[in-house]
């Protein structure tokens, strides 16, 4: 998504001398790699597009994964980016010297670039759980981002480990469609109710008119809801925090009547502490007669199923590991070495960091889209990337025009920014809400944007050049 955005923006600025490197044989990132049953984006469809390339043809209020993938493929083709893209090229290193980034790929290919844009995603490397016996299972076992479509689920007893957004979507899709479904929950999650109706053919046709689509998107109300949401994350006493929390509690209260099941599904942490899950039907799904919520902790995986701490063996044909991703990898395992031998692993020895999620000291002309500690939340990362591009472009334009030869943030700028950001992050519900989540860095401090959406868009409007060091063209 972010690499395509960079390509489109460069072309629209009249720059044709660029290459997009993609390690797979197709574009799509998250939406290419995730193909699990029920895959849905939880951002409203019409808002989950580039601002300059709206899509009137979404079939549902929340975009189904395959439609998102088709959208990106369509945009990629429309903007004729194929000629700029090298597929099946996995970058393994980037070293800066002589005013250029020198890139090496797993294939042995090399390239050089004045400006390097990292658009390699956030949640990318699947995280396998440290459950003993993973290799001993004789059925089909896979991470949810590596779904095995050769397995016939209709005759399978399926176990899903994990109840983040992924696990919840899969259980909602499979309940009643497989002979037996076991959902292994380590920590209960708050679930926000959401509508996910269909757009009729007539509605989709009417959205071909940009004015009708704009009206349907209700931009002021949507932006107000995003602002209220981010306010809720940083201020537990805010109106938004109260109304979101109340909606989650009422959803559980009204949807689950069995007191034993309700107790199992009741989290001990505050709503929003973990990434909020939006689901129209999880509580209905888990109450289906063939669905079973398992809250006993997993002891081990055996040849025929999952054994829990109470000694029960849950016999299974398929185990889907919805256990998330390594949120601290970013472009790693690439080796990245900047000016004076500064390398990424040293710079990130304690945790990943970048000035405004975009620039790093001694990494001249290297910019990140969706870099560390940026605003990853329940709103559109496409929108976030567009704002980040606006900021990046202002930094790189003087390099491309030859006005300066290098730009990156200063060490002091990053240090001061990180201190301020970390302090603010300690005031958020991710920190104070009493839970563990992938938002927390190795210090236990939320690795995210701890201010509002409005603060983010304001920050991205223009760089503060006093925080950057530049080298004049020699
Ligand atoms: P996740 O939120 O990191 O959830 C991982 C789940 O696996 C948690 O329930 C965790 O339990 C459980 N788990 C991990 N190790 C375990 C173990 N050893 N034993 C038992 N349970 C274990 O991962 P995800 O659901 O794939 O979602 C990741 C992110 O992707 C989301 O937060 C979201 O940003 C994005 N996503 C978005 C959408 C969307 O609609 N836009 C859909 C899917 C994913 P604990 O809670 O106890 O740690």
DSSP symbols for 126-180: B-----TTGGG--SEEEEGGG--TTS-GGG-EEEEE--SHHHHHHHHHHTTTSSE
Q: Is 41 in the pocket of ligand 1 (CB under 6 A)?
A: yes
For residue 192, being part of any structural domain is answered with: yes
Report d(CA 315, CA 306) in Å as an integer: 7
User: What is the average per-residue pLDDT within 8-24?
Assistant: 98
Report d(CA 170, CA 320) in Å as an integer: 9
Range name among 103-112, 234-243, 309-318 with the lowest pLDDT average:
234-243
CATH number of 17's domain: 3.50.50.60
Nearest to 138 by CA among 316, 320, 321: 316
Do both 294 and 186 map to the same domain?
yes
Q: Is 143 in the pocket of ligand 1 (CB under 6 A)?
A: no
Do both 115 and 215 map to the same domain?
no
pLDDT of 382 strictly over 70: yes
Q: Place 378 in a pLDDT band, splitting at 50, 70 and 90.
A: low
pLDDT of 379 strictly over 80: no
Q: Is 164 in the pocket of ligand 1 (CB under 6 A)?
A: yes
Q: Where are the alpha helices (DSSP H) in 34-81?
A: 65-78
pTM over 0.75: yes
The CA-based angle 290-173-276, given to 5 degrees, is 110
For residue 131, being part of any structural domain is answered with: no
Do both 162 and 291 map to the same domain?
yes
Residue 29 has what pLDDT?
96
Residue 376 has what pLDDT?
84
User: What is the average per-residue pLDDT within 169-198?
Assistant: 98
Report d(CA 240, CA 26) in Å as an integer: 40
Q: Which of 271, 295, 321 is the last residue of a domain?
A: 321
pLDDT of 456 strictly over 70: yes
Q: Place 62 in a pLDDT band, splitting at 50, 70 and 90.
A: very high
User: What is the average per-residue pLDDT within 256-262?
Assistant: 98
Residue 113 DSSP class: E
Do both 159 and 248 map to the same domain?
yes
- Cα–Cα distances in angstroms (integers) from residue 155 to residues 137, 158, 168, 183, 242, in the given order: 18, 9, 21, 17, 44
Do both 412 and 439 map to the same domain?
yes
Query: Phi/psi of residue 203, each to 5°?
Result: -65, -45
Do both 443 and 345 map to the same domain?
yes
For residue 77, being part of any structural domain is answered with: yes
Q: Is 380 in the pocket of ligand 1 (CB under 6 A)?
A: no
Number of domains in the chain: 2
The average confidence (pLDDT) of the chain is 97
Do both 317 and 338 map to the same domain?
no
Mutate to test the pocket of ligand 1, among 165, 296, 447 (most ligand atoms within 8 A of CB): 165
Q: Place 455 in a pLDDT band, splitting at 50, 70 and 90.
A: very high
Mutate to test the pocket of ligand 1, among 129, 160, 162, 229 (most ligand atoms within 8 A of CB): 162
Residue 169 has what pLDDT?
98
Q: Which of 290, 321, 352 is the last residue of a domain?
A: 321
Q: Is 275 in the pocket of ligand 1 (CB under 6 A)?
A: yes
For residue 127, being part of any structural domain is answered with: no
Mutate to test the pocket of ligand 1, among 166, 375, 437 (most ligand atoms within 8 A of CB): 166
Residue 436 has what pLDDT?
96
User: What is the average per-residue pLDDT within 32-58?
Assistant: 97
For residue 132, being part of any structural domain is answered with: no
Q: Which of 258, 286, 321 is the last residue of a domain?
A: 321
Instruction: Domain of residue 272: give its range.
Output: 140-321
């Amino acid at each position: 998504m972010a690499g395509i955005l960079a390509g489109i923006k460069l072309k629209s600025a009249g720059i044709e001398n660029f290459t997009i490197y993609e390690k797979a044989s197709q574009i799509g990132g998250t939406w290419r790699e995730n193909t699990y049953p029920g895959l849905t984006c939880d951002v409203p469809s019409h808002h989950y597009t580039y601002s300059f390339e709206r899509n009137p043809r979404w079939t549902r209020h929340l975009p189904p994964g395959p439609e998102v993938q088709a959208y990106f493929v369509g945009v990629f083709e429309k903007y004729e980016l194929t000629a700029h893209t090298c597929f099946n090229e996995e970058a393994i290193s980037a070293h800066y010297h002589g005013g250029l980034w020198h890139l090496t790929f797993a294939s042995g290919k090399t390239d050089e670039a004045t400006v390097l844009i990292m658009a390699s995603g956030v949640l990318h490397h699947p995280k396998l759980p440290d459950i003993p016996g993973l290799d001993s299972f004789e059925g089909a076992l896979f991470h949810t981002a590596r779904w095995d479509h050769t397995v016939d689920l209709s005759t399978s007893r399926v176990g899903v480990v994990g109840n983040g957004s992924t696990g919840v979507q899969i259980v909602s899709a499979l309940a009643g469609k497989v002979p037996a479904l076991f959902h292994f929950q380590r920590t209960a999650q708050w679930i926000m109710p959401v509508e996910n109706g269909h757009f009729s053919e007539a509605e989709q046709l009417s959205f071909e008119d940009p004015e009708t689509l704009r009206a349907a998107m209700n931009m002021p109300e949507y932006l107000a809801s995003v602002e209220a949401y981010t306010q809720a994350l940083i201020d537990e006493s805010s109106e938004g925090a109260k109304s979101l929390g109340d909606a989650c509690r009422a959803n559980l209260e009204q949807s689950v009547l069995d007191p034993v099941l309700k107790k199992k599904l009741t989290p001990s942490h505050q709503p929003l502490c973990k990434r909020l899950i939006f689901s129209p039907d999880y509580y209905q799904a888990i109450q289906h007669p063939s669905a079973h919520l398992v809250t006993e902790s997993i002891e081990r995986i055996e040849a025929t199923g999952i054994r829990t701490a109470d000694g029960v063996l849950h016999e299974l044909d398929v185990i889907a590991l919805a256990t998330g991703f390594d949120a601290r990898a970013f472009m790693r395992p690439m080796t990245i070495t900047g000016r004076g031998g500064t390398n990424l692993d040293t710079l990130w020895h304690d945790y990943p960091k970048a000035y405004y999620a975009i620039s790093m000291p001694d990494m001249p002309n290297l910019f990140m889209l969706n870099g560390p500690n940026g605003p990853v939340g329940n709103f559109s990362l496409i929108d976030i990337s567009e704002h980040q591009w606006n900021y990046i472009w202002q930094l790189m334009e003087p390099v491309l025009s030859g006005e300066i030869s290098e730009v990156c943030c200063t060490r002091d700028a990053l240090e001061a920014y990180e201190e301020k950001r970390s302090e603010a992050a300690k005031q958020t519900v991710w920190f104070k809400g009493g839970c563990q989540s992938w938002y927390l860095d190795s210090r236990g401090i939320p690795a995210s944007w701890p201010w509002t959406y409005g603060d983010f868009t304001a920050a991205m409007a223009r760089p503060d050049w006093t925080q950057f060091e530049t080298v004049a063209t020699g």
